[in-house]
Amino acid sequence: MQTLPRFLLTFVLLLPLAASAQTPIARPAQSGGCPTESIAFHACAVAKARTFTPPRTADGKPDFQGYWRSRNNGIAYDVEPGEGSFAVPPTGGEIIDPPDKKIPYQPWALAKRNELRTKSFEDPQGHCAPSGAPRKNNTLFGWRLMQPRGFVVFLYESMHDYRIIPTDGRPHLPASIKLWHGDPVGHWEGNTLVVDYRNLNGKHWFDMSGNFQTENIHVVERYTMFDPDTILFEATIEDATMYTRPWTLAFSLERNKEVGYYQLEYACHEGERDLQHFTGDTGRGQSQQFKTEEQK
């Protein structure tokens, strides 16, 4: 009696898979009325922002509140354009400067990146680490944005992570304290929220492809609404110890307008069942980053 319905259910569940196997995943080529290729997107969004008037909060700041998710051309996997590899799909990249869309590494840093690229088990995100800046906006999950007076607060679904951004221009923490979350301090420049990130601990990667950081990293993020449901996100990254020059990425943040939506819990560490593979217990992977000095 149960066989037939179960068979039917399986068939119905598999239908979308069968369809998607034949057709590439369709990505709308537009976001907020702009093309999604990074350099063209940036130029278009900047032009639209010049004439767009955002809604305002009670204290007169642009109102970004609500649910958002990024449209990022696969940047969660690789910030550079790539043909894809094991567990990494082909990516379009999101770098807008330099125009070749490559991170301007110094030779030693490029060599290290290429080595890390083969060791995705060392990606801190795989260890449920907070993703830092700007990666937190690269995730495949969304976030809730709140604007209590004097702050912009991001509550991320992914790993129940958050960013608290004071917009009172307070001084940064002393340079000697390094945090997974860094120390973001924001201010408004016209309709743009500018967030200055210091005190990052340098253990983050930008993506799943080994693009690592050092603790000298300085990130400036810019959020500009250019359409009622779309924000231009830009991040400029500086680190004279590993790059030949600063570089900038940009992509689109889109409003999630699903009625009745709210974020469910994304517990990460609690469900951990595979750390032995990250830390070398099985011999299948040896994570340098998370080994003690003696183990190294």
Q: Which residues bind other proteins (CB under 8 A)?
A: 58-59, 65, 127-130, 144, 146-149, 151, 153, 155, 159-162, 164, 166, 170, 173, 177, 179-181, 183, 260, 262-265, 267, 269-276, 278-279, 290-292, 294-295
Least spacing, CB of residue 46 vs other proteins, in Å: 29
Residue closer to other proteins (CB basis): 189 or 293: 293
For other proteins, the closer CB: 110 or 275: 275
- Cβ closer to other proteins: 48 or 135? 135
* CB of 249 vs other proteins, minimal distance in Å: 24
Greatest pairwise CA separation for the chain in angstroms: 70
For residues 182 and 197, is the Cβ–Cβ distance under 8 A?
Answer: yes
Minimum CB separation of residue 181 from other proteins in Å reads 5
What is the closest distance, in whole angstroms, from the C-beta atom of residue 197 to other proteins in the complex? 13
CA-CA distances (angstroms) from residue 48 to 42, 97, 181, 263, 275? 10, 20, 32, 30, 47
Nearer to other proteins, 101 or 181 (CB): 181
Burial of 187 (0-12, 13-18, 19+ CB in 10 A): middle
Nearest CB to other proteins, comparing residues 42 and 203: 203
Give the CA distances from residue 252 to residues 193, 224, 280, 284, in Å, rounded to whole numbers and listed in that order: 15, 10, 38, 38
